[in-house]
Amino acid sequence: MVFQSTLPIPINEMPEEIKELNADTPLFGMTLGMRVMQNKVDSIFDRLLNFKMSESGNLSYNKNLDVEIIEKEIITQCDFGCLIPPPNVVILTPTGSPNDDNEIFHTTQMYKEEFSLNDDEYLDICADEAILGPRLLLI
């Protein structure tokens, strides 16, 4: 089975940023889109809780708040969705022994034909013989 998706922007048109790695380099983090979404959610909570500090130093906030109110506000303020269309799912059933080199080659040829790949285009293959034979992953 293969899930074939169209990326929202062509890979070869994305500039590849070169990063110098050191001990302080963050390897994982939020994307800009996720950071914007997090800021929206934070501001929604701030507004709904309505924190106030009195002159005497007492903190007050909105206690009439439940998950439905929060969810409704988040849904109305934040854009949800997927940036890509649904994937094209291709299921090919190999014959014979799925772990046999000839059968794996035959299966890759079937995928190349299914996706109309030329001889100069790539079909990246990930294989796991221990479970169910080859899995083909288009990258």
Distance (Å, whole) CA 75 – CA 63: 21
The pTM score is: 0.47
Which residues, including other chains, have CB under 8 Å from residue 107's CB and lie 6 or more apart? Answer: 92, 94, 98, 134, 136
Distance (Å, whole) CA 25 – CA 46: 31
Domain segments of the chain: what residues? 32-77, 84-136
Structure confidence at residue 72 (pLDDT)? 92
Q: Are 127 and 134 in contact (CB under 8 A)?
A: yes
DSSP β-bridge partners for residue 3: 89
Q: Which residues of the chain have pLDDT under 50?
A: 130-139
Residue 116 CA: distances (Å) to CA of 76, 110, 113, 119:
42, 10, 5, 10
Structure confidence at residue 131 (pLDDT)? 44
Q: Which two tokens stand for residue 43?
A: 């501001």
